[in-house]
Amino acid sequence: MSTQSQDQSEIFRGTADGKTLLKDSRSVQGTPAASMPAFILGEELADLADNDPRIVVATADLATANRTSDFRARHPRRFFDFGIAERNMITAAAGMASTGLIPYVATFAAFSGILAAEQIRTDCAYPKMPVRIVGSHSGMSMGFYGTSHHALEDIGMMRTVADLTIVNATDANHLRAILRKSVDHPGAMYIRLGRGRDPVVYDTVPSDFAFGRATRLRDGSDITIMTYGAQVRPSLDAAQRMEKAGFSVRVVDMHTIKPLDFHEIKAAVDETGAILTVEEHNVIGGLGSAMAEALIDLPRIPFQRHGVPDKFVEVGPPAALYAHYQLDAEGIYNVASAFLKPRG
Express each pLDDT in 180-204 by its tens digit.
999 999 999 999 998 777 889 999 9
The letter for the amino acid at 38 is A
Q: What is the pTM of this model?
A: 0.90
List the Cα angle 242/258/286 in 5-degree steps. 55
In 3-state terms the chain splits into helix, strand, coil percentages (rounded to 5) of: 40, 20, 40
DSSP 216: E
Q: Is the pLDDT of residue 19 over 70?
A: no
- Mean pLDDT for 303-330 is 95
Express each pLDDT in 101-128 by its tens digit.
999 999 999 999 999 999 999 999 999 9
Is the previous residue joined to 199 through a cis bond, with omega within 30 degrees of 0?
Answer: no
Mean pLDDT for the chain overall: 90
> φ, ψ for residue 82 (rounded to 5)?
-90, 5
The letter for the amino acid at 271 is E
Output b/e per residue, 180-191; b: 16+ Cβ within 10 A: eebbeeeebbbb
Query: Which residues are within 8 A (CB) of 24 and not within 5 positions of it... i.e. 6 or more apart?
Result: 316, 317, 318, 319, 320
Express each pLDDT in 257-272 by its tens digit.
999 999 999 999 999 9
The single residue of 10, 43, 44, 86 carrying the catalytic annotation is 86
Q: Is the pLDDT of residue 31 over 70?
A: no
Q: Is the pLDDT of residue 36 over 70?
A: no
* 153 a catalytic residue: no
- Rounded to a whole number of angstroms, the distance between the first and last alpha carbons of the chain is 63
DSSP 121: I
Instruction: Judge contact between 22 and 14, C-beta under 8 A.
Output: no
Distance between CA atoms of residues 264 and 166, nearest Å:
17
pLDDT of residue 26: 47
pLDDT of residue 222: 97
Of 34-43, 100-109, 123-132, the range with the lowest mean pLDDT is: 34-43
Other Cβ atoms less than 10 A from the Cβ of 89: the count is 27
User: What domains, with CATH codes, occur in the chain?
Assistant: 31-192 (3.40.50.970), 215-343 (3.40.50.920)
Q: Is the pLDDT of residue 332 over 70?
A: yes
Instruction: Judge contact between 103 and 123, C-beta under 8 A.
Output: no
